[in-house]
Structure 1
Amino acid sequence: MTDSGKLHYFLGIAITRNASGLFLSQRNYAADILHRANMTNCSSCTTPADSRTKLDAAEEPFVPDPTLYRSLAGALQYLTFTRPDISFAVQQICLFMHDPRETHLAVLKCILRYIKGTLDYGLQLYPSTTLGRFPIYTTLHLRILHLPRDNLISWSSKRQHTVSRSNAESEYRGVANVIAKTT
């Protein structure tokens, strides 16, 4: 193998160097997902999902082609590498990959319509000298953000095993979990 020079495109991620640092984009990959879903000419929407909609496995018709649903949901999971703005919505539709219903497909299509309007979005990485790992606590979830040089590199989210009665209790549990995991 030989050195081909500076990296510009890797595993579907385009890397552009600019004055601010590096810009990572999956524009071509997102356009391909829209093409596979036959939604290249769809109208766009302003949010990836309706926050008021509660997805469940209700008594409604199955998705006619669950294989296509699963394929698109998996493709959207890969797109979240440079598009953290769709992470929550994609995680919600992936909960029902085993038994997708029409409501789940409608939410998936809403995410695709959002992608259509935001094809040029990506992840900007800035040069910096700080390193860090910051836990963030919410009532039911513990999230760990890995931020070397002020740039989000990875994150994880884990549902806590017990329900807390207050935010303070939730934070204490989260701190205890992080300390236990670290040691």
Structure 2
Amino acid sequence: MGQLHHFLGVSVAHYDDGLFLSQQQYTLDILERTRMSAYKPCSTPIDLHSKLSTDGPPVADSTHYRSLAGALQYLTFTRLDIAYAVQQICLYMHDPGEPHLAALKQILCYLQGTLSLGLTLRPSSPAELVAYTDADWAGCPDTRQLTYGYAMFLGDNLVS
């Protein structure tokens, strides 16, 4: 039986020290679909100085926004670096506004400059599952509810 090279839209590259999982073609397809493949890349997937809220005029096409947000959700399987930013834009899928669309476009610009990134999995011992979490009490600017994040490692591999 041969090695797996492609599975459910994920490219699998085999190396002596592990696997590299990538959705580069899927990312390129999203950028082409949004006509953002020629946009200037940015260095972060989210504005570090502000938080999204419900303020702002509604987007012209909420179905298109939801479609792109869903596509980015699928991309987080191999691009854990965008997971937080994508989660933030998905909070507003029910009623997206122009600031949310701007945040979505920033993620796309970030992807434009980081096409070669993916998920590396290496054998590690021991294969323990370790989780880290952080919370921001009253972190949501609209509801003042808790916001939190987490990272899970299987051995030395970030998996969620």
Q: TM-score range by the shorter chain?
A: 0.7 to 0.9
Any runs of at least 4 consecutive aligned residues in structure 1 with deviations exceeding 6 A, and if so which?
Answer: none
5+ residue gaps in structure 1? 156-183
Deviation of 1:133 after TM superposition, in Å, equals 2.0
Determine the structure 2 residue equivalent to 1:14.
11
Is 1:23 the counterpart of 2:30? The answer is no
Is 1:51 the counterpart of 2:58? The answer is no
Structure 2 counterpart of 1:133, from 123, 129, 134: 129
Where relative contact order (Cα < 8 A, 6+ residues apart) is larger, the structure is 2
Is 1:76 the counterpart of 2:72? The answer is yes
Give, in whole Å, the separation in 2 of the partners of 1:26 and 1:85: 13
Give, in whole Å, the separation in 1 of the partners of 2:17 and 2:50: 38
Structure 2 counterpart of 1:150, from 140, 146, 156: 156
Q: Point out the structure with max Rg over C-alpha.
A: 1
Deviation of 1:143 after TM superposition, in Å, equals 3.3
Indicate conservation of the 8 Å contact 1:133/1:144, yes or no. Answer: no
AA aligned opposite 1:47 = T
The structure with the largest helix share of the pair is 1
More moved, 21-30 vs 37-46: 37-46
AA aligned opposite 1:129 = S
5+ residue gaps in structure 2? 137-147
Is 1:107 the counterpart of 2:125? The answer is no
Task: Report the identity percentage.
Answer: 52
The residue matched to 1:76 in structure 2 has which SS?
Answer: helix
Calculate the TM-score normalised by the size of structure 2: 0.86
More moved, 82-91 vs 136-145: 136-145
Give, in whole Å, the separation in 2 of the partners of 1:66 and 1:19: 45
Work out the number of aligned pairs and report it.
149
RMSD of aligned Cα (Å)? 1.6
Q: Residues 144 and 124 (structure 1 numbering): CA distance in 2 closer, same or farther, change over 3 Å?
A: closer
AA aligned opposite 1:150 = D
Determine the structure 2 residue equivalent to 1:63.
59
Indicate conservation of the 8 Å contact 2:151/2:158, yes or no. Answer: no
Give, in whole Å, the separation in 1 of the partners of 2:133 and 2:73: 23
